[in-house]
A and B are shown apart, each in its own frame.
Chain A
Amino acid sequence: MLGFVGRRIIYLVPVLLAVTLLTFFIASLLPGDLAYAMLGDQATPDKVAALRHEMGLDLPVIWRYLHWLGDVLQGNLGRSFRTGETVADAITGRLPVSVELMLMAEITGLLIGIPIAIICAVKQGGAFDRIATGIAFGKLSIPAFMVAILMIYLFAVKLHLLPATGYVPFAEDPIGNIRGFILPALTLAFGEWPVLMRVLRSDMIATLQEDYIAMAKAKGLKPWRILLVHALKPSSLTLVTVTGINIGRLIGGALIVETIFALPGIGRLLVTAIYARDFIILQGVVLFVAAGFVIVNFIVDLLYAVLDPRIRHGRA
């Protein structure tokens, strides 16, 4: 196990370095340079030169990258030149919102996906299975922003059941806080369940053909006991991976969903930084999201190895 962890870490370091490199160099795609962007209308050659010198923009690019990387490793991601807020503060302030949304969405997705997958796997090829897999396939063609609009139209505009926007902190109004998260979480869960359902369904179909399931049936165990106790756990390996990857992806907050429902999470921070052309915040958030994505995937790999001995021994 230690050897496996070691190999994964050896792989993790260059990927993280590459992520910082890519994040840094995307910023150099900016036409002109950051000094012009920061000064805006007041850009005179003298001021630009002074600011460039102050920010170290006149140094060679490799030198600048190393300098920036050194700062990043010390947790210093810079400071917004619009609001003066540090990037680290901006991220830690928004992270709880994204995490709450992610947890609610993932739990809802699993609650919808798992029962459907089990029913489909048991009656494989039956009417329910065909309808559910058909819906899951159709769902691939409905992006989150369409679902969000439908949700807002149905539950906020027509039925007046839930707010379309309006975030309140949990400490101020717990119920209002949860209500504000229901529609965005449902929107995300609507995109998650077909994926979760598909992987569990196909793994479960394979598990149900194993000898020990036939054995359990022969012993006269109740069907629900066979399904939930004997079949579900060995079938859930891929489900764990996919759930983990989704969590990694949602660290970036659900960009679109957070923007539509005006939830002040990481995704919304990124989008507003783009609207405001706040490039320091943008760079910091992109780095945070990408590094988080890589690290969560790394943890999922480890978890997977814990669950399945074949993987840590390289025999999968």
Chain B
Amino acid sequence: MDELIKTFHIEVNLLLAQMVNFVIVLLVLYKFAYKPILKTLNERTKKIEKGLRDAEETQNKFQEMTQKEKEILTQAKKEAQEIIKKSESEAKKNAESITAEMKEKNAKMIEDAKAMIEEEKKKMLLEIKSEVADLVVMATEKVIAQKLNSEKDKEIINRVIK
């Protein structure tokens, strides 16, 4: 040991003093350099981690949104198609019912017109009949007035009281 100390010119006092110095320097460094640096590093790490996390979250959210968008679009397309289909069928149905109604109305109109014509015909025939009857009776009256002498009148009366 002594030999070793001699070879390397180690002085215990000096060594001790140096050790004390080192400890002091270490303490000072620890207090004024290491702690703030560590704090900064920690903060940065945290910040980066947070940034990464945020980015991931954003990505996730973006993906979710895209998915949702797709879903909404599909739904909307489906709904639109359904509406179109429904309106088409309704229009068809409406057209059919309108056609049927028109047909019915037309038929009724024709029927009414026919009935009216028939009624008119009947009326006319009746009028003609009435007029003919009046004319015939008028003519007969004239003939009777001319031809009915007292002899003929007697014959008629005799027929009544037979």
Indicate, yes or no, whether A interacts with B: no
